[in-house]
Chains A and B, each alone.
Chain A
Amino acid sequence: MPRNNKLKKILVIGSGPIVIGQAAEFDYAGTQACQALKEEGYEVVLINSNPATIMTDTNMADKVYIEPITLDFVTQIIRQERPDGLLPTLGGQTGLNMAVELARAGVLERENVQLLGTQLTAIEKAEDRDLFRDLMRELEQPVPESVIVTTIEDAVDFSNEIGYPIIVRPAYTLGGTGGGICANETELREIVASGIRYSPISQCLIEKSIAGMKEVEYEVMRDANDNCIVVCNMENFDPVGVHTGDSIVVAPSQTLSDREYQMLRSASLKIIRALNIEGGCNVQFALDPFSFQYYVIEVNPRVSRSSALASKATGYPIAKMAAKIAVGYTLDEIVNPVTGQTYAMFEPTLDYIVSKIPRWPFDKFINANRKLGTQMKATGEVMAIGRTFEESIHKAVRSLEIGAHRIHLKDASELDEDTLRLRLQKPDDERMFLVAEAFRRGYQLQDIQDLTNIDWWFLDKIEGIVAFEAELRGASVLSKELLYQAKRKGFSDRSIAEIRREGNQSTYTNEFDIRAYRAELELKPVYKMVDTCAAEFEATTPYYYSTYEVENEVTESDKQKVLVLGSGPIRIGQGIEFDYSTVHAVWAIQKAGYEAVIINNNPETVSTDFSTSDRLYFEPLFFEDVMNVIEQEKPIGVIVQFGGQTAINLAAPLTKAGVRILGSSLESIDTAEDRKKFEALLRELNVMQPQGSTVTSVDEAVAVAQGLGYPVLVRPSYVLGGRAMEIVYSDEELLTYMVQAVKINPEHPVLIDRYMLGKEAEVDAICDGDTVLIPGIMEHVERAGVHSGDSIAVYPPQSISRELQQKMVDITIKIARGLNVIGLVNIQFVIFQDEVYVIEVNPRSSRTVPFLSKVTNIPMANLATQAILGTKLADLGYVEGLWPEDEFVSVKVPVFSFAKLRRVDPTLTPEMKSTGEVMGRDQQYAKALYKGLVGAGMRIPPTGSIIATVADKDKPEAIEILRGFYELGYNIIATGGTATALEEAGLRVKTVNKLSEGSPNILDLIRDGQAHFVVNTLTKGKTPERDGFRIRREAVENGVVCMTSLDTVRALLNMLQTINFSSRPMPVLAQK
């Protein structure tokens, strides 16, 4: 069927901010969709609240709205734009839920907007547990015994009848928020209560647990002519019980015979047909390892995280095809873009093995519960491709950047036997490594299988890897044959060297010797193409992976090349913003006439779309792998400044290996990161920074802290996203920090700075060696002490004087020159007693680049790349200094995923905790802030109730702010001390019991939904048992906004005051 000509204008809804369960994969999907629709000549209108995305670039759609994805705002845009169609299936659960809301509110009908791709009934059938089960029964597809409940009692009755364990799945939530597996009634009551709260329709599915079965997924596509294909199937390393987003996954399935494969394939097709989906769909199955019995676990009637993975795993661009199908095309008439000669109507076949490993935030949240269950906790993922499982999984491990480069954790050998067994039984993020540890300790495969339920096949592979390591360890001579075997199994030179060191071998005990040895033996990897068809048809996609075989498929090219290093998996502190910059760098390189080569390993992103660059190497961002690509491609140089800390960390070894770094040199990077050199530079430039010192022992730390005077800011050197950075107020706290958060020694020093409680601001600038262009200054709402990534940032500054702004501009220019920056630089300032201090300088692309690029309309990553390649900013018409301010005010609001991470304290600290961001933009600051907060998920009633519990030191300030809310008609609820203080200040307050004062207390109030906001400032000491922690967690778990910085509260108040009408009594005439 040809293109639908009745449609002219199509609205695409994005997925909003990055949260756990909904990450960069929807930028990839949305970008593809917008491009596909534009390619077909449609006018595309896009709405997404997330500025850190490629899809919100103005060249991606005809009109881009960065506005909150809420019924009100989307309705307004629909009224304004009058689109003919709405494509809701590419914006994740957010996009889908929005479409449902619009349809239910009658907006679509009223405004005559046609839902494209998936019909409302299909969404409902797939998402509503009851309708879904009915449909499955109708299709004779087995589902586990279950019941839909809206009360805890119903859940308990059912579970007591069919027995535990029981799985709780709240309806319409993403990443399984609020769900979990319960082993008994107590756990059930707790989880169901939270599930009902998180479900927008207060509904949970209580289901018999099928944990332990094989988990298999199918990515299916269908068009209007009922043509159906399976793009890819995947098998989870972790059996059912761990959320698929938290599972290690391989593609294709490894342990299914053709009978099983086809049985589930047929079931998937039956389901997508019954749902009448026109586009992509994901079906998850549980398969009994001992029979043909299977269960349908879940159906996602949209493009998903798994489809992004499937697209990258096969080369088949699911989102693009889904968009074309949505406007009427059928699979048999869409050309397969990979081969250019066959059609989209076929099933990709792989001739390699793909491994995906999730990336969890537990390195940052040391208190978080690491156990994995039905609620997703990973922030990102890596993917690797190899010709054997061993090769593939090894590459994936070293892509993770968790300090491991093989299936080996340094500390695992210290675990006692009981802990090891327990952790094998109850999966956490390190389970695969612990399986290897168990083999190293001589566990039998069957034992491990009994404990983990992981399929024999995977365990056998890991056992084989461990056995091979032993062989390497024991070989006094590293023969060519043995080394070749090791490389074929995906061992890195570094791993081989480490293993040989373990065996006390005398030769080849460091990676560079092995590298040299390999060069001598000409033992190099070859590159194979990902072509969707296992070489059956000729393909020209420049999408490669390395392996140790015979034929190299990389085609020669005589153009000059530039290599860009990507940023790897999404994690807290290094998110989608870096992919945004990477993609822009690639485009700028191409425009400058070079071939852009990219290395990255994150399957969710736009940068790993093979159509983004001239050549894509899906490889670990690991020295050896990067060097291999460099030797293959011989680029004129490597750009490291767009790939976050991942790429920056490679600058040193690459420089040492003789590779040319384009843009700011290793020396600049090192000067900015090395405390001593940095201090010297600032002194030379006459720029102030907070006093501080580097210490290498605990005693030294205490002495320095006492010298500076508490509070002090402590952090390890070489930080990423403020990892393990804290403000400490006493010797005692300092000592606790030293023990818990860092391993201090001369090689890993700790930095201690005087903590200045001032206003923070930040600047991103571009320097070409001559001109320093500053697109804008961003003011932070929260004072110093809250990580810049967690602060609300405002552009242009609202409360910083022109004079101070000019000071920042001057300092930026000085530093950019003094540091010899070529490309981007990010500088963070604190303003303390009218003086500007520099806190941090990063000579690289930062988190704020996409936001600032969008609000100032300066293509920063593009200009930086041009500068790196030698173009002068002056020749492009830019002048030195601060770019004129925009007339609109833009606000960047952080978004957190606390609900998914139990035991993590939602308090804002110097340690970054947010996973994503949204933007609010309007003519006035208050309106922009309102949009930002609403976009970030805050519900802001014109009036309501606030619960306040405030530390003594904050009381005077808090009273003033709360008075403002009181005057707006808000009810103030407070505990003892705070209540008294407020009453003394003349506010009428409802007093509520503290936790220690018995029920009903503050927690009950929060749980009962009686509060709209919780204001809680931190009392000292961070043991989770503290009341404050419980209050904050209770708020998060009940979806109540919890503010821990009074600055945020004040900003909210000012916003409400501006937006609301104010009623005041007439002034009483003065009586003289």
Chain B
Amino acid sequence: MQARLLLEDGTLFTGLGFGAEGQSSGEVVFNTGITGYQEVLSDPSYCGQIVTMTYPLVGNYGITRDDFETVAPFIHGFVVRRHEPIPSNWRAQYTLDGLLKEHGIIGISDIDTRMLTRILRHHGTMKGILTTGAERVEELQERLSATPLMRDQVARTSTKSIFTSPGDRERIVLVDYGAKSGILRELTKRGCDVVVVPQDTTAEQIRKLNPDGIQLSNGPGDPKDVPHAVKMIQELLGEYPIFGICLGHQLFALACGADTSKLKFGHRGGNHPVKELATNRCYITSQNHGYTVLEESVAGTKLEVTHINNNDRTIEGLKHTELPAFSVQYHPEAAPGPLDSSYLFDQFLEMIRTTKQNNPQKPRQAQLAASLRGELQYAQK
């Protein structure tokens, strides 16, 4: 079955279709990871995007129930040089083709993916349309220009209702902007009592959950498309320790007065070097973002840059100079990618413990009584 990919600039790639049939458009991006295609295509941060894998053979080890980053993928298309139909791995339960079919995702293979990558590198990411049909190119072009890029990906990918993943240690409210399962996995592994809340949860609602800390998740798209999240963070900043990842990092930066902008073709892959400025140490990190916090916008805020990308020097980590809050642009939960930065979760929990020690709270019953008394006094007035 023939499939085609048309880019905004008019470049047409003709290859073979796999997965679902039909037509679909989105922003075309590339990921340079060699392994981890299952995690990539199930990462909600790719919502609405057509993802190209630069490694040419995809599907080699199949799909396993264990490696999903979300239940149903949100990508709008999957582009590979060669789709390997027969997987070989002891955990393989499904094939890549089967997964894409099941979720209605169009795949295209046998195109010059390196050429596509070079075009994206050169011109920056752009819109594209995938089809397995026989439409005329002009028709596709029209369709492509008529379809705007999505702006509501966060709402689409976030959980609609609150749910918990019980644990017997710190209570963490994980705000889901399109969270990867990996974040929940890392918190749960550390015994945290995690409450996952929808992206539009307000500060007041979060307070009611009595968290020990707030984890802002990764997520798709432009942080400026989620202004309510910025407001929530501003309200809770200082009240609870906060740790932001990826989109969560950008939202945290916006909340503190910094600004963000779009990168030419983003960082997507598992080989990005990040330097921790305090120690001058470097880590290889997993990344997936198209936006970045602007360096010049940090000046004058209460933010301090803690990490930078060792290649393009963009901001990779921030912390609040006065309040217990920090964030990173990359993915300490890995999946896919190197596990080198998972220590950041320990750092977050450590921050929660220190904050508690430094601000000894009254016993809960005293607190409760005090507030009840306050309400009582008000009533008596």
Are both chains from one complex?
yes
Which residue numbers of A lie inside 8 Å of B, CB to CB? 225-230, 252-262, 265-266, 269, 289-291, 330-332, 341-343, 345-353, 387-389, 455-457, 460, 528, 533-538, 549-551, 553
Which of B56-64, B247-255, B317-325 binds A?
Answer: B56-64
Kindly name the residue among A259, A261, A353, A389 whose own CB sees the greatest number of chain B CB atoms within 10 A.
A259
Determine if A549 and B121 form an interchain contact, defined as CB atoms under 8 angstroms apart.
no
User: What are 13 A-B pairs at a CB distance below 8 A?
Assistant: A255-B88, A256-B89, A257-B89, A258-B35, A332-B282, A346-B272, A347-B270, A349-B33, A349-B269, A351-B55, A534-B117, A536-B117, A549-B112
Determine if B91 and A347 form an interchain contact, defined as CB atoms under 8 angstroms apart.
no
Closest to A457 in B: B88
Shortest distance between the CB of B26 and any CB in chain A (Å):
20
Instruction: Give the residue of A290, A342, A347, A535 whose beta carbon is less than 8 angstroms from that of B54.
Output: A535
Interface class of chain A by DSSP: loop
The complex places the Cα of A535 from the Cα of B337 at a distance, in Å, of 19
Determine if B311 and A551 form an interchain contact, defined as CB atoms under 8 angstroms apart.
no
Instruction: Identify which of residues 262-308 in chain B touch chain A, using a CB-to-CB cut-off of 8 Å.
Output: 269-273, 275, 280-282, 284
The 7 closest A-B pairs by CB, nearest first: A258-B36, A457-B88, A551-B115, A534-B54, A347-B271, A258-B336, A550-B112
Q: A257-B35, A257-B38, A258-B36 are in contact. Are A351 and B114 (CB under 8 A)?
A: yes
A330 cross-chain contacts in B, Cβ below 8 A: 280, 282
B34 within 8 A of A: yes
A290 cross-chain contacts in B, Cβ below 8 A: 90
Determine if A549 and B273 form an interchain contact, defined as CB atoms under 8 angstroms apart.
no
Instruction: Give the residue of B86, B91, B118 whose beta carbon is less than 8 angstroms from that of A257.
Output: B91
Kindly name the residue among B36, B60, B91, B114 whose own CB sees the greatest number of chain A CB atoms within 10 A.
B114
Kindly name the residue among A258, A341, A387, A538 whose own CB sees the greatest number of chain B CB atoms within 10 A.
A258
Instruction: Identify which of residues 335-364 in chain B touch chain A, using a CB-to-CB cut-off of 8 Å.
Output: 335-340
Shortest distance between the CB of A543 and any CB in chain B (Å):
14
B280 cross-chain contacts in A, Cβ below 8 A: 225, 330, 332
Closest to B111 in A: A550
B114 cross-chain contacts in A, Cβ below 8 A: 351, 387, 528, 534-535, 549, 551
Shortest distance between the CB of A218 and any CB in chain B (Å):
12
Kindly name the residue among A229, A230, A351, A549 whose own CB sees the greatest number of chain B CB atoms within 10 A.
A351
Determine if B61 and A255 form an interchain contact, defined as CB atoms under 8 angstroms apart.
yes
Shortest distance between the CB of B261 and any CB in chain A (Å):
20
B270 cross-chain contacts in A, Cβ below 8 A: 258, 347, 349
B27 cross-chain contacts in A, Cβ below 8 A: none
- Known contacts A262-B338, A538-B121, then 11 further A-B pairs from the complex at CB < 8 Å, ordered by chain A residue: A254-B57, A261-B36, A262-B334, A343-B311, A346-B284, A351-B56, A351-B81, A387-B81, A388-B57, A535-B114, A535-B118
B202 within 8 A of A: no
Determine if B56 and A387 form an interchain contact, defined as CB atoms under 8 angstroms apart.
yes
The complex places the Cα of A927 from the Cα of B163 at a distance, in Å, of 84
The complex places the Cα of A194 from the Cα of B87 at a distance, in Å, of 43
The complex places the Cα of A259 from the Cα of B38 at a distance, in Å, of 11
Shortest distance between the CB of B46 and any CB in chain A (Å):
16
Closest to B334 in A: A262
Instruction: Give the residue of B57, B311, B338 whose beta carbon is less than 8 angstroms from that of A353.
Output: B57
Instruction: Identify which of residues 36-90 in chain B touch chain A, using a CB-to-CB cut-off of 8 Å.
Output: 36, 38-39, 54-57, 60-61, 64, 66-67, 81-82, 84, 86-90
Instruction: Give the residue of B54, B88, B281 whose beta carbon is less than 8 angstroms from that of A351.
Output: B54
Instruction: Give the residue of B90, B271, B339, B340 whose beta carbon is less than 8 angstroms from that of A346.
Output: B271
Closest to A1 in B: B280
Determine if A225 and B281 form an interchain contact, defined as CB atoms under 8 angstroms apart.
yes
Kindly name the residue among B89, B281, B335 whose own CB sees the greatest number of chain A CB atoms within 10 A.
B89
A260 cross-chain contacts in B, Cβ below 8 A: 89
Closest to A529 in B: B114
The complex places the Cα of A289 from the Cα of B61 at a distance, in Å, of 12
Shortest distance between the CB of B148 and any CB in chain A (Å):
27
Kindly name the residue among B57, B113, B121 whose own CB sees the greatest number of chain A CB atoms within 10 A.
B57
The complex places the Cα of A458 from the Cα of B197 at a distance, in Å, of 45
The complex places the Cα of A551 from the Cα of B116 at a distance, in Å, of 9
Closest to A445 in B: B86
B310 within 8 A of A: yes
The complex places the Cα of A537 from the Cα of B270 at a distance, in Å, of 15
B112 cross-chain contacts in A, Cβ below 8 A: 549-551
The complex places the Cα of A455 from the Cα of B92 at a distance, in Å, of 14
Determine if B113 and A351 form an interchain contact, defined as CB atoms under 8 angstroms apart.
yes
B181 cross-chain contacts in A, Cβ below 8 A: none
The complex places the Cα of A332 from the Cα of B316 at a distance, in Å, of 15
Determine if B35 and A261 form an interchain contact, defined as CB atoms under 8 angstroms apart.
yes
A353 cross-chain contacts in B, Cβ below 8 A: 56-57
B32 within 8 A of A: yes
Shortest distance between the CB of A172 and any CB in chain B (Å):
33
The complex places the Cα of A551 from the Cα of B112 at a distance, in Å, of 7
The complex places the Cα of A133 from the Cα of B59 at a distance, in Å, of 37
Determine if B32 and A349 form an interchain contact, defined as CB atoms under 8 angstroms apart.
yes
Q: A258-B67, A269-B340, A388-B57 are in contact. Are A291 and B34 (CB under 8 A)?
A: no
B281 cross-chain contacts in A, Cβ below 8 A: 225-227
Shortest distance between the CB of A32 and any CB in chain B (Å):
22
Q: A346-B272, A549-B112 are in contact. Are A331 and B282 (CB under 8 A)?
A: yes
Closest to A265 in B: B338
Determine if B55 and A349 form an interchain contact, defined as CB atoms under 8 angstroms apart.
yes
The complex places the Cα of A225 from the Cα of B275 at a distance, in Å, of 12
Closest to B113 in A: A351
The complex places the Cα of A435 from the Cα of B90 at a distance, in Å, of 22
Kindly name the residue among A253, A347, A533 whose own CB sees the greatest number of chain B CB atoms within 10 A.
A347
Determine if A388 and B121 form an interchain contact, defined as CB atoms under 8 angstroms apart.
no
Closest to B64 in A: A257
Shortest distance between the CB of A453 and any CB in chain B (Å):
13
The complex places the Cα of A1002 from the Cα of B340 at a distance, in Å, of 60
Determine if B282 and A259 form an interchain contact, defined as CB atoms under 8 angstroms apart.
no
Determine if A460 and B86 form an interchain contact, defined as CB atoms under 8 angstroms apart.
yes
The complex places the Cα of A725 from the Cα of B86 at a distance, in Å, of 49
Determine if A349 and B340 form an interchain contact, defined as CB atoms under 8 angstroms apart.
no
B271 cross-chain contacts in A, Cβ below 8 A: 346-349
Closest to A288 in B: B90
Determine if B54 and A227 form an interchain contact, defined as CB atoms under 8 angstroms apart.
no
Determine if B82 and A388 form an interchain contact, defined as CB atoms under 8 angstroms apart.
yes
Determine if B90 and A349 form an interchain contact, defined as CB atoms under 8 angstroms apart.
no
B35 cross-chain contacts in A, Cβ below 8 A: 252-253, 256-258, 261-262
A253 cross-chain contacts in B, Cβ below 8 A: 35
Determine if B118 and A551 form an interchain contact, defined as CB atoms under 8 angstroms apart.
yes
A352 cross-chain contacts in B, Cβ below 8 A: 56
A553 cross-chain contacts in B, Cβ below 8 A: 118
Instruction: Give the residue of A226, A227, A289, A536 whose beta carbon is less than 8 angstroms from that of B32.
Output: A536
